[in-house]
Amino acid sequence: MVKKNFPNPVKLIQYYNFINYNLIYNNEAINRYKKDSYEISADKTDNLEKLKKTINNIKNCSLKYHATNMVFGDGNPKSKIMLIGEAPGANEDKEGMPFVGRAGALLDKMLAAIELDRKKVYISNIVNYRPPENRRPTDEEIRRYLPFITKHIEIISPKILVLLGSTAMNALIGSDVVISKMRGKWIEKKFGNCKTSVIVTFHPAFLMRQPAQKKMAWIDLKMIRDKKI
């Protein structure tokens, strides 16, 4: 009797992934001219520049006084997904970029787990300057920067807004909500002219302190991955 050699299914799947089998079985024409475009409209560029200048011109702000750099935003301004954290830390202050320290490394991993690249989303914070000693921004500081982050959301106009942690949640949804009840739910919200679906999840810095909560964050991440936009 001739023994048939059936391929090992796991190896077969790995192989199909490896050879990018979509290219073989998908009979849609490949558009070789359409690149992942990061070009943004003149209007959006203008509005972002104006907002940056306005923040840069803030006077009598002790956050700004103590900080080295303004941390405005990072990523693709055309993205349908915007993430908002709390405030820059020491590394962010040094580099002028959000989420580039240890919390940022975890955020990158969280995004990668749902096949998102941080360059493809847009990231900012509730306040644009690092609070001394990495303390939480005060209510007064949050109130002062709230119009800027609201305008920032309106300019980016994301379909999905991810609020990382309770500072971002309380600033943008309300001070009467708690993260344990609020996370993992979609709510619709308007920021200026931008109507968007908002989800709250744990801040990566919190997840580093409480790794047991990563399983809840994973639920939230899958909701983001599976959201039809």
Closest to ligand URA by CB, 107 or 182: 107
Which of these, 229, 168, 224, 157, lies nearest to 192 by C-alpha position?
157
Q: How far is the CB of 25 from ligand URA (least distance, A)?
A: 41
Which of these, 97, 77, 76, 94, lies nearest to 85 by C-alpha position?
97
Q: How far is the CB of 67 from ligand URA (least distance, A)?
A: 12
Closest to ligand URA by CB, 85 or 158: 85
Contact (CB, 8 A) for 173 and 200: yes
Which of these, 131, 125, 121, lies nearest to 148 by C-alpha position?
125
Q: How far is the CB of 141 from ligand URA (least distance, A)?
A: 13
Closest to ligand URA by CB, 107 or 223: 107
Contacts of 40 (CB under 8 A, 6+ apart): 77, 78
Per CB under 6 A, contacts with ligand URA among 195-224 are: 205
Contact (CB, 8 A) for 111 and 118: yes
Size of the site for ligand URA (CB under 6 A): 13
Per CB under 6 A, contacts with ligand URA among 81-140 are: 85-89, 92, 98-99, 101, 103-104, 125
Contact (CB, 8 A) for 226 and 189: no
Q: How far is the CB of 174 from ligand URA (least distance, A)?
A: 19
Residue nearest to ligand URA (CB): 85
- 81-85 vs 74-75, strand pairing mode: unpaired
Residue 75 binds ligand URA, judged by CB under 6 A = no
Q: How many CB atoms lie within 10 A of CB 109?
A: 10
Hey, what are 84's tokens?
């908002």
Q: How far is the CB of 209 from ligand URA (least distance, A)?
A: 13
* Interface residue list for ligand URA (CB under 6 A): 85-89, 92, 98-99, 101, 103-104, 125, 205
